Amino acid sequence: MKFTALVSVCLAPFVSGCLDDPADETEISEEIATQNGLPAINGLNTQNGLNTQNGLNTQNGLNTQNGLQNGSALMSTSAGRNTVKYLIRCALPSGRSITKKDQYGTSYSFSGSLGVAPGWETGSCNQTCQQWVSACLVAHINTAGIEVPLWVVADQLQIGWGLSPSYPNQEGSFFGNVFTSPPVMHYCNGRNFDINTVPGRIGYDNGATKPYTNPWGYNVRCDTYCTPADYPHASSGYKACAGYNSVLTVWRQ
């Protein structure tokens, strides 16, 4: 049985978020349940990847001074720290955490949950690591800035392919690399992307500019181009899309 953290977030679309008190996080005994709400990846634009001038360096461990620097750009604003919160939640497993300081010396603790890149805590983050963290970060974006519970599956040791009857709708899959310049943020539509749609997520066209793109065109489904999971999990999600082998598939209620 895998463990992860189901947390609540307080956000407004594309503006500064607010950092949860780590004490509010609780562990649950489920496969992989999580909650999105990241309005935008702070420090990321159409030209520069996350691994540039933000005090974040993939060549060093997150829990080292040169991996995620104290007082850095990411640590100096509420929005930046919110990105760090999701970054650590994605990269490190439950039970692991790091503490960093802002420019005023105030300490903030960030807890792991999904654990797609546990080695990045103390070591470097190679291309595979970057792609897993990227898929996870992009999957947590909600352009409407509201909370939506999600269930995620992947060909990844800490996550796996187990489904939940409480999350019957396959929303879509996410893949890319936000650490490259320019960053790559892709998605494709799941089989049930247009069922029980919610603001800020795939299938809900509210006019907001989505930060990610479907490489095959508007509303093109993943099963048209992606490679499904191995038997007996072929219907759960996809293990490869558009040359990326680090793919995270999201199910919603």
Q: Read off the pLDDT of residues 143-167 as tens digits, 9 standing for 90 and up.
A: 887 878 999 999 998 899 999 999 9
Mean pLDDT check: name the lowest of 147-151, 187-191, 245-249. 147-151
The arithmetic mean of pLDDT across residues 210-220, rounded, is 92
More confident residue, 221 or 42: 221
Question: Does pLDDT of 251 surpass 90?
Answer: yes
Q: What does the alpha-carbon distance between residue 229 and residue 153 come to, in Å, rounded to a whole number?
A: 10
Confidence (pLDDT) at 33: 75
Lookup result for tokens 């509210």: 206
Mean pLDDT of 87-113: 95
Interhelix angle 78-91/127-139, rounded to 10 degrees, is 120
Domains in the chain, number: 1
| Cβ–Cβ under 8 Å, residues 212 and 138 | yes
User: In this structure, are strands 26-28 and 227-228 parallel, antiparallel, or unpaired?
Assistant: unpaired
pTM: 0.85
Q: How far is Cα 164 from Cα 87, in angstroms, rounded to an integer?
A: 25
pLDDT of residue 228: 98
Give percent of the chain with pLDDT exceeding 70: 85
Quote the domain boundaries for residue 89.
Answer: 4-252
For tokens 């496969």, the residue is 31
Residue 127 near residue 177, CB atoms below 8 Å? yes
Q: How far apart are CA 12 and CA 87, in angstroms?
A: 18
Mean pLDDT of 109-132: 96
pLDDT at 129 over 60: yes
Condensed to tens digits (0 to 9), the pLDDT of residues 44-69 reads 877 889 987 889 999 999 999 899 99
List the single range of 28-32, 44-48, 81-85 with lowest mean pLDDT: 28-32
Determine the pLDDT at residue 46: 72
Q: What is the phi/psi pair of residue 54, to 5°?
A: -115, 5
Report how far residue 103's alpha carbon sits from residue 241's, in angstroms, rounded to the nearest whole number.
40
Amino acid at 117: A
- Which runs of consecutive H residues, i.e. helices, occur in 121-218? 127-139
Question: Mean pLDDT over all residues of the chain?
Answer: 85
